[in-house]
Every structure is written in C-alpha cells, then in structure tokens.
Amino acid sequence: MGQGPSGTEREVTLQNIQELYRKFADECPSGNLHLHEFKKIFGINSSSTEEESAYMDNVFRSFDTNTDGHIDFLEYVAAVHLVLRGKLEDKLKWSFKVYDRDGNGCLDRQEVRHIVKIIYKLKKHNKPSITGSIEDICDRIFELVDKNRDSQISLEEFIEGAEKDPWVMDQLKLDIGPCDWFIEQQEKQP
C-alpha cells in the first residue's frame, strides 16, 4: 500500500488524524475493529472483487499484531501511523508481512504469485492498458530479488530488491496515496 509518498499527496494534519481517532471511537465503541468493519471502512463489500477482498484480509491480518481477530485502538494507531507517516523501510517490512501469508519469514513463489495477481488485477482495473503475464512478472521478481537462488525471498532480499529496483518496487505496491485517500474520506463526512 503506497510505499513512498507521491509529489501530489496532500499533507495530513494533526487535526485530520485526531478526527480519524474520533471516528474509530464512534464506530468501534467496544474498542475493537473486526474484519467486516475494516473492509467496510475501505469500501470492500459484496460487489468488490475476490482479489480486493483477499488483499484486505491480508492487510487486516498484518495490523492484528496479537492475532486475536480484531484490531484494538493501539493496533489501529500503529497502523494509521505506519500508513500515513512511516518510513520506506518500515512500509516495506509491513508489506512483506502482508505478503507472507503463512508467516514463515520468507516469500515463496505461491505467495509472490498470489500478491502479484491481486496487485495486477487491481492495477489493471484502474489502468486497462497494463499488459504482461503474472507468471512473467513473478519470474522476473525472483530473478532480480532472490539473490541466493533458494526459491524464497527473505525480508532482507525483499527490502534490498525493492529499494534498488524501481520496477520491483512498482510490482510490489499499490498505486494509492494513503494521505489523499484519508483526506477524501474526511471530506465525505457530514
């Protein structure tokens, strides 16, 4: 999710962030945000694609750091801070955690193929002129990033590959501006 700031993103103010916290307290008076509520916040519903839903499942899991099935206020604050203010390396570590579905600390071809498929379909939905096969993209990522050729990408290989190769970075992130998204959500409120 947006590993680097774009030149067109607007700045999120402290007032914006305080409003987000207030909204959490209003919408989650129990102090817990569950998966279905999380998806609703990001506009994922029954008409969303399977890929969008699967991606949000992984994002939710990455923010649920104590794996109790919900995001509490502290996890929510940490997530907001990471997405809106985090450094590139921290965002890459978070992305790796989202992609590492089995939590073993490495990305295998199936996990990379899965995330490339999700990101590819989401990008293609927004920009239909995108071409190339998922297998070709996956193969190229492994060729560029898997330095020790063990058919797994470690966190270190992932960070190094994404930081050094703009193509890899582009393939492993969604082109969304979290700051812009956040401000748009605030402007929609009455």
Find the domain containing 71 and state its range: 14-188
* Mean pLDDT for all residues in the chain: 79
pLDDT in tens, 7-32: 444 566 777 777 777 877 887 888 89
Computed from CA positions of residues 100, 56, 116, 178, in that sequence, does the dihedral angle turn out positive or negative? negative
Query: Is 20 among the domain residues?
Result: yes
- Note the residue count of the chain: 190
pTM of the model: 0.69
Query: Is 34 among the domain residues?
Result: yes
* Numbers of helices and strands, H then E, in the chain: 10, 4
Query: Is 5 among the domain residues?
Result: no
Query: Is 159 among the domain residues?
Result: yes
| β-pairing verdict for 70-72 and 106-108 | unpaired
Q: DSSP labels for 22-33?
A: HHHHHH-TTSEE
Which of 58-67, 140-149, 181-190 has the least mean pLDDT?
181-190
- The three-class DSSP label of residue 34 is strand
Query: Is 2 among the domain residues?
Result: no
pLDDT of residue 153: 96
Query: Is 7 among the domain residues?
Result: no
Sort 19 into a burial class: Cβ within 10 Å, 0-12 / 13-18 / 19+: middle
Q: DSSP labels for 100-127?
A: -TT-SSEEEHHHHHHHHHHHHHHHHHH-
- Can you give the CATH number for the domain in which 63 is found? 1.10.238.10
What the block records as the tokens of 170 is: 């582009």
Long-range contacts of the stretch 93-96 (C-beta < 8 A, 24+):
93/155, 93/159, 94/62, 95/1, 95/3, 95/158, 95/172, 95/173, 96/155, 96/158, 96/159
Mean pLDDT of 98-124: 85
pLDDT-above-90 percentage for the chain: 23
> Domain total for the chain?
1
CB atoms within 10 A of CB 31: 13
Query: Is 32 among the domain residues?
Result: yes
Query: Is 3 among the domain residues?
Result: no
pLDDT in tens, 73-94: 888 878 877 877 778 888 888 8
The C-alpha atoms of residue 181 and residue 157 are separated, in whole angstroms, by: 30
Residue 5 has pLDDT above 50, yes or no: no
pLDDT in tens, 32-48: 999 988 888 777 888 88
Amino acid at 139: D
What the block records as the tokens of 30 is: 């129990």
- The three-class DSSP label of residue 87 is coil
